[in-house]
């Protein structure tokens, strides 16, 4: 096919300083006239190829430039390195791959791409905190996702749940994705037989999440599987997040807060903090605003709000107000005098 020949022609031009139409014809097993037409077509299409007449002449790339066969523009190359640069930090294979990609770019793109790769630094730790490390087992899990390799997990069950046993639990799973969420790592995996459910039946395969810090070992079973479509995997993770958030947000409290504290509360509670009404115009820092915060228990919610002292007023429900009073009384008894 001609497209294949044109790509092969560009690769030859990149590998050699100069090539004649006759040399190109021999390499690609075409006529000299066809080779000349291909070279002229590349030049007309914008590839920086030009002929050098005379003895020792031939065709070459302008200035020895290398053409970007991926079709990336300079702006696209910078955006790619802006995203991949921080992600490659601390990962030797990813760093090496990024270096090779950098060398494959046209010379005029490289400086901007390298600068973009260093433009963003990622430090997940807050002030005064230790940086959360990337668990060693993540690399094993990632490779299993890529290889579509079935795993036998040995993991520590959740405390305070029906899964608690005298030892570790074991499950054979099909790993779908490794997820980094905040300071935690999760494995999204499918377990059980995957088949089309019949009338009145249900598919016994289920998608579950595993906290990676609870996984003690992950060994391959030797079996491989066909993964669901990417959209299905994303939907499965969204469903898992919604289920967890629903559990975490079973207790709601109405609070009055100064506008200056709204960014702090949003960071602390995330999606469990909502202004009422949500689309308020910007207010001065001292303005009193109304909001709703949620948590999984009355005690947990009161403990988070207690740290703000009298700056925040809980107007409802009575159970959260009573728990705040209890916490205040405990502190007063311990520290008074």
Q: What is the pLDDT of residue 195?
A: 58
Check residue 200 and give its pLDDT.
52
CATH architecture designation of domain 2-64: Orthogonal Bundle (1.10)
CB neighbour list of residue 189: distance below 8 Å, 6 or more residues apart: 151, 153, 173, 174, 175, 176, 207, 208, 209, 210
How confident is the chain (337 residues) per 10-residue block, as mean pLDDT?
67 76 86 87 76 77 56 75 76 79 78 81 66 80 90 82 60 91 85 63 71 93 89 87 76 92 88 83 86 90 92 94 94 87
User: How many C-beta atoms surround the C-beta of residue 55 within 10 A?
Assistant: 4
> Of 154, 279, 139, nearest to 216 (Cα)?
154
Architecture of the CATH domain 251-335: 2-Layer Sandwich (3.30)
pLDDT for 2: 59
pLDDT of residue 167: 67
DSSP state of 130: P
What pLDDT was estimated at residue 162?
45
Report the pLDDT value the prediction gives residue 160, as an integer from 0 to 100: 47
pLDDT at position 231 is 84
Structural tokens at position 229: 């479509």
Q: What are phi and psi of 295, to 5 degrees?
A: -155, 175
Contact between residue 117 and residue 98 where contact means Cβ atoms under 8 Å apart: yes
Domain locations along the chain = 2-64, 74-117, 137-238, 251-335
Copy the structure tokens of residue 23: 């040399």
Domains 2-64 and 251-335 share a fold: no
Contact 248, 296 (CB under 8 A): yes
Are 145 and 176 in contact by the 8 Å Cβ rule? The answer is yes
Q: How far is CA 189 from CA 20, 103, 248, in A?
A: 56, 36, 22
Q: What pLDDT sits at residue 217? A: 94
Tell me, what's the pLDDT at 326? Answer: 95
């Amino acid at each position: 096919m001609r497209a294949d020949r044109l790509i092969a022609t560009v690769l030859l031009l990149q590998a050699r300083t100069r090539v004649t139409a006759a040399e190109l014809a021999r390499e690609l097993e075409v006529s000299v006239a066809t080779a000349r037409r291909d070279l002229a077509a590349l030049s007309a299409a914008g590839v920086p190829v030009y002929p050098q007449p005379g003895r020792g002449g031939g065709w070459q790339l302008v200035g020895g430039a290398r053409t970007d066969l991926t079709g990336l523009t300079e702006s696209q190359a910078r955006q790619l390195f802006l995203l991949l640069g921080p992600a490659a930090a601390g990962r030797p294979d990813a760093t090496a791959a990024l270096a090779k990609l950098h060398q494959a770019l046209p010379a005029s793109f490289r400086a901007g791409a390298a600068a973009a790769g260093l433009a963003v630094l990622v430090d997940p730790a807050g002030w005064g905190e230790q940086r959360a490390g990337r668990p060693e087992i993540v690399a094993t899990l990632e490779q299993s996702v890529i290889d579509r390799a079935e795993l036998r997990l040995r993991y520590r069950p959740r405390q305070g749940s029906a899964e608690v046993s005298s030892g570790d639990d074991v499950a054979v799973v099909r790993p779908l994705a490794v997820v980094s969420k905040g300071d935690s790592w999760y494995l999204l995996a499918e377990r059980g037989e995957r088949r089309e459910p019949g009338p009145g039946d249900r598919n016994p395969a289920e998608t579950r999440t595993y906290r990676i810090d609870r996984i003690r070992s992950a060994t391959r079973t030797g079996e491989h599987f066909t993964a669901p479509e990417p959209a299905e995997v994303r939907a499965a993770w969204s469903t898992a997040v919604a289920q967890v958030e629903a559990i975490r947000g079973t207790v709601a409290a109405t609070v009055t807060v100064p506008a200056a504290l709204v960014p702090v509360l949003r960071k602390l509670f995330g999606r469990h903090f909502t202004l009422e009404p949500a689309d308020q115009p910007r207010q001065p820092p001292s303005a009193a605003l109304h909001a709703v915060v949620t948590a999984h228990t009355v005690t947990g919610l009161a403990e988070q709000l207690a740290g703000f002292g009298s700056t925040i007023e809980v107007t409802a429900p009575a159970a959260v107000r009573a728990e705040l009073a209890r916490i205040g009384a405990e502190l007063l008894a311990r520290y008074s005098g």
